């Protein structure tokens, strides 16, 4: 399955045109922009998914013990990518926003759970356990039915290692990925980030996968201007 993804980065004025030309001519390595990541072998994690899920004491190291590949962040929607390009990654040193649209195989993609999914798993009972069903309904809305088995495993224990492992493991499940990719509701995550779907993508991304790359301008709309928003601090 192929996914059309969007990535928003910011650069200095002097580097902007050259960055656009480079991406159009050569694709990108993941070194462009501010953030770079090391990620595991996605295929290997998927092969072990059920084993990790059923383990008595699963840990994050079962997934991220070996991270031999480079990775980048991208969104399944332009709303998220524009947010990162126009606001989150923008600074006085890097004021120029660039939006990149590219194609990636689902074999090279997993969900970025850091700014919403992991918080929903770790802290679902921080104040009360009475909202468990509501929390599950929200997760189903933005990640699909497939995420519920991982959330159920999470709610069956107070062990934070297991909870962290379950939210990360759900991120590699192709059924969850496909449903999250189709989500159209805006998620307001930690630190004010906003997106409909967020992913890690294995790099490099070859030039034939690049669909569009351009400098964009303007200011980003504040989260409160949108309807149908799930906010991290309102879970």
Domain map of the chain by residue range? 2-234
- CA pair distance 104, 87, nearest whole angstrom: 25
Q: What is the pLDDT of residues 158-193, one digit of tens each?
A: 899 999 999 999 999 999 999 999 999 999 877 678
Query: ω before 153 within 30° of 0 (cis)?
Result: no
Is pTM, for the whole model, over 0.85? Answer: yes
Chain CA centroid to CA 189, Å:
11
For residue 72, give the DSSP letter: E
| Model pLDDT for residues 65-104, shown as the tens digit of each residue | 999 999 999 999 999 999 999 998 889 999 999 999 999 9
**Cβ atoms within 10 Å of 2's Cβ, excluding its own:** 11
102 - beta bridge partners?
Answer: 5, 210
Q: How confident is the model at residue 227 (pLDDT cuts 50, 70, 90)?
A: very low
Whole-angstrom Cα distance, residue 134 to residue 212?
A: 39
- Does residue 222 surpass a pLDDT of 90? no
Torsion of CA 5, 8, 9, 10, to 10 degrees: 160
Residue 32, pLDDT score: 64
């Amino acid at each position: 399955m192929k996914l059309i993804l969007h990535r928003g980065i910011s650069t200095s004025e002097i580097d902007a045109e050259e960055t656009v030309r480079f991406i159009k001519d050569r694709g990108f390595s993941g070194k462009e922009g501010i953030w770079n990541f090391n990620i595991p072998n996605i295929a290997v994690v998927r092969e072990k998914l059920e084993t990790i899920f059923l383990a008595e004491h699963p840990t994050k190291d079962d997934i991220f013990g070996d991270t031999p590949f480079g990775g980048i962040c991208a969104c399944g929607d332009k709303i998220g990518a524009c947010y990162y390009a126009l606001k989150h990654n923008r600074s006085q040193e890097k004021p120029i926003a660039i939006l990149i649209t590219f194609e990636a195989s689902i074999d090279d993609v997993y969900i970025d759970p850091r700014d919403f999914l992991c918080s929903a798993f770790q802290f679902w009972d921080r104040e009360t356990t009475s909202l468990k069903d509501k929390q599950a309904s929200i997760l189903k809305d933005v990640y699909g039915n497939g995420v519920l088995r991982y959330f159920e495993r999470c709610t069956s224990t107070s062990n934070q290692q297991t909870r962290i492992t379950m939210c990360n493991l759900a991120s590699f499940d192709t059924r969850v990925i496909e449903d999250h990719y189709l989500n159209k509701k805006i998620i307001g995550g930690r630190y004010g980030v906003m997106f409909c779907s967020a992913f890690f993508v294995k790099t490099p991304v070859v030039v034939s996968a690049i669909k569009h790359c351009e400098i964009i301008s303007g200011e980003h709309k504040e989260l409160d201007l949108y309807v149908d928003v799930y906010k991290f601090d309102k879970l």
